[in-house]
């Protein structure tokens, strides 16, 4: 489908503003594309939690790289490629052998929009403030949070590994997520990151 020249011009204007640190322009892009890529990811992963996390990663990385936003030629392709790459990373973590990983890589490449931009930026920069919050969690809560959010284990798997109930895992994750959000919210200059972490797109 051909994109209207007016839409392209508007997006180029938004990207130019984002490159100068305009939070309102970034918020417009976030709300324009966030739900669309959430459904894109959810259809592949069948997990609301994974879709939430990948959307967060995509837009946090985009914000960290905001100075280069004006260099993007095709915003839709750029964002969908980021989402496809992050989804591939998720599947790669759970694939049991290199052959499966190779098939997944080709599948993820097909998911991306035509003429998509290569996206290889390290995400660690945007995670720094979140990692500071995680380090302040009580030991068991920190471990549960990392097992779920970083290692990708399900509630059932964590409960079995730690010999605790699924409800206890859920309780720790709810409290950990609340603490991380409040920590991010309280840090100076992190309104955008807080918005990304606190937005849910599923119905």
Q: How many CB atoms lie within 10 A of CB 121?
A: 14
Cα–Cα separations (whole angstroms), residue 109 to 79, 81, 84, 115, 121: 13, 8, 7, 11, 17
Tens of pLDDT, residues 22-31? 888 998 999 8
Q: Which helix (H) or strand (E) holds 168?
A: helix 166-186
Does 164 score more than 90 pLDDT?
A: yes
Among the ranges given (86-95, 107-116, 152-161, 187-196), the one the predictor scored with the smallest mean pLDDT = 107-116
Query: What distance in Å separates the CA atoms of residue 55 and residue 88, rounded to the nearest whole number?
Result: 13
CATH numbers and ranges of domains, the chain: 5-111 (1.10.1740.10), 124-198 (1.10.10.10)
- Check residue 185 and give its pLDDT: 62
Q: What is the pLDDT of residues 49-59, one digit of tens each?
A: 788 888 988 99
> At 95, phi and psi to the nearest 5?
-75, 140
Q: Would you state the structure tokens that stand for residue 42, as one six-digit string? A: 């959810």
Determine the pLDDT at residue 145: 86
Q: How far apart are CA 4 and CA 15, in angstroms?
A: 17
Q: What pLDDT was estimated at residue 64?
A: 82
Rounded Cα–Cα distance for residues 54 and 57 (Å):
5
**Predicted confidence (pLDDT) at residue 119 exceeds the cutoff of 50:** no
Which whole-number Å values give the CA distances from 118 to 33, 78, 82, in the listed order? 19, 8, 8
Q: To which residue do tokens 């839709």 refer? A: 76
pLDDT above 60 for 121: no
- Report pTM: 0.57
Per-residue pLDDT band at 140 (split at 50, 70, 90): very high
Residue 39 has pLDDT above 60, yes or no: yes
More confident residue, 71 or 7: 71
């Amino acid at each position: 489908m051909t994109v209207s020249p007016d839409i392209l011009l508007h997006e180029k204007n938004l990207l130019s503003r984002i490159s100068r640190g305009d939070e309102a322009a970034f918020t417009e892009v976030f709300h324009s594309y966030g739900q669309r890529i959430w459904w894109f990811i959810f259809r592949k992963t069948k997990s609301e939690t994974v879709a939430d996390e990948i959307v967060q990663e995509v837009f946090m990385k985009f914000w960290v790289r905001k100075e280069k936003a004006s260099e993007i030629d095709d915003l839709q392709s750029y964002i969908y490629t980021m989402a496809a790459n992050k989804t591939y990373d998720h599947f790669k973590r759970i694939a049991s052998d290199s052959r499966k990983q190779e098939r997944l890589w080709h599948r993820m490449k097909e998911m991306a929009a035509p003429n998509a931009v290569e996206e290889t930026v390290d995400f660690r920069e945007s995670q720094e403030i979140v990692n500071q919050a995680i380090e302040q969690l009580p030991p068991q809560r920190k471990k549960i949070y990392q097992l779920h959010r970083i290692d990708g284990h399900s509630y059932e798997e964590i409960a079995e590994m730690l010999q605790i109930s699924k409800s206890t895992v859920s309780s720790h994750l709810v409290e950990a997520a609340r603490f991380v959000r409040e920590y991010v919210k309280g840090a100076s200059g992190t309104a955008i990151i807080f918005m990304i972490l606190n937005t849910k797109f599923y119905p």
